Amino acid sequence: MAFKRIFLPFILFIFSSLSYAANCEGPRHHIFLLHGIGGDRGSFGYLPEVLGLENSCHRVRTFEYKTGSEQNTYQFAHDFHRFMTSFPASELRSFDKISLVMHSQGGLVGALWLKFLVEYNHPLKNQLDSFITLSTPFWGADIANIGKRFFYTLPEGVENPISPFGRNELNEMSYGSFTIRDLARNIESIFKDVPKIRPLVLSGLKKVHNSILGEDDMVVPTHSMRLEHFYLNDLINMADKPSVVPASLFTKTEPKPFVIIPADHIKMTQPGIAKIPKNCLKNCNHPSLKHIVNHLSGKPVKQDNKYDIERFRVNVLINNPLKLNFDDKDLRITIHGLDKETKVPWIERFRSGFGNAKLERGPSFSFTGIAKRKGAQTLFVTLKYKDKSVKTYEVPVESGHSSFIDMTIVELY
């Protein structure tokens, strides 16, 4: 099965591409499509054919991986690396360009693959060009928690045979998961270490007539699709006297091209953000396609974000690498410093004390709110241990963004 999944698409592509290979003069542009959870090559519709017609030097392939299994995002990324290194040097040449177009979870797989290339200084990183994500939940999605509760109410280790989603897949797309922690810490340095890479983030938005419904694409919230985020890494000693951490110690990562378009995660009442219909082989107005084509060709993409987004998310990640013995129930956060322009609904304040992802390295807290003023605002998050205030963080928040407090416990007493 592994041989078929990795090598058969490659063999079929070689034969199908012979007819137009002679028309390409110069470097080839290899474009790899990575689908999302529960998806397959059909997730992109006619995008491979459209891109093939767009440029005779395009070589478009879909990498299919086994969603719904017990594998996680890291294992999928390693599968993709084996796929990428399976091509003979005569097909994927050292001077050819490589681009990725990824839908949903596929963007997490692609980002972890980039991290792998950087860590091992793999030569493929020098060939990377476009890195295009379509509704990727970089910082999590509520639907992952809903999916876990719906499909995985049985004890861990007992898989649901009818679930299209794997337990580990859903967990790694839950707020505060290991994947999300890893990317929040490292995504900025990853992009800086890939010299020629050009990211583009396309964010779907559900519209009903002229009204925005929920500030998401029915699956992933806008603030989770944007790579740009606020971040703080901090050490915690529970025995210290209470202290305040100012907002100035948070860093805001470099902005990446980000475009909000009217599209559903998968086609419902609006076009699916990744699935390109057949009529686009001639001419169409699919909201994603023009941005994908322009970015792959090196043309500037207009960031005409005319939608007023208000929601933000704050994630408090507590790491326990020393495996200190404490009860997670003794840890709580309180949220304060709010006003009419920066709000956190009471239900979010109530449930923020419960981590959403299954974590072995420590608990996490996550809540969403509304920032009506433009630019960064602040609110306060206080960490309490056994009802004693330990640290208060002045957290920068901004509409359409996520903020992270990434703390590591070094001492309890």
Give the residue-averaged pLDDT of 362-367.
87
The per-residue pLDDT for 364 is 87
Q: Distance of CA 55 to CAs 36, 45, 62, 103, 126, Å?
A: 26, 18, 17, 22, 22
Mean pLDDT of the chain: 88
Q: Is it true that 2-229+254-296 and 311-411 share their CATH fold?
A: no
High-pLDDT (> 70) share of the chain, %: 87
Summarised one tens digit per residue, pLDDT across range 188-221 is 999 999 989 999 999 999 998 878 888 999 999 9
- Pick the more confident residue, 329 or 223: 223
The CATH number of 2-229+254-296 is 3.40.50.1820
CB distance 134 to 104 below 8 Å: yes
Residues 6+ apart with CB under 8 A from 211: none
Summarised one tens digit per residue, pLDDT across range 3-62 is 444 444 444 444 444 444 458 988 999 999 999 998 999 999 999 999 999 999 999 999
100: tokens are: 């990725």
Domain ranges of the chain: 2-229+254-296, 311-411
Residues 6+ apart with CB under 8 A from 203: 135, 217, 222, 225, 226, 258, 259, 260, 261
The CATH number of 311-411 is 2.60.40
CB distance 48 to 33 below 8 Å: yes
Give the residue-averaged pLDDT of 304-325.
89
- Please tell me the pTM assigned to this model: 0.90
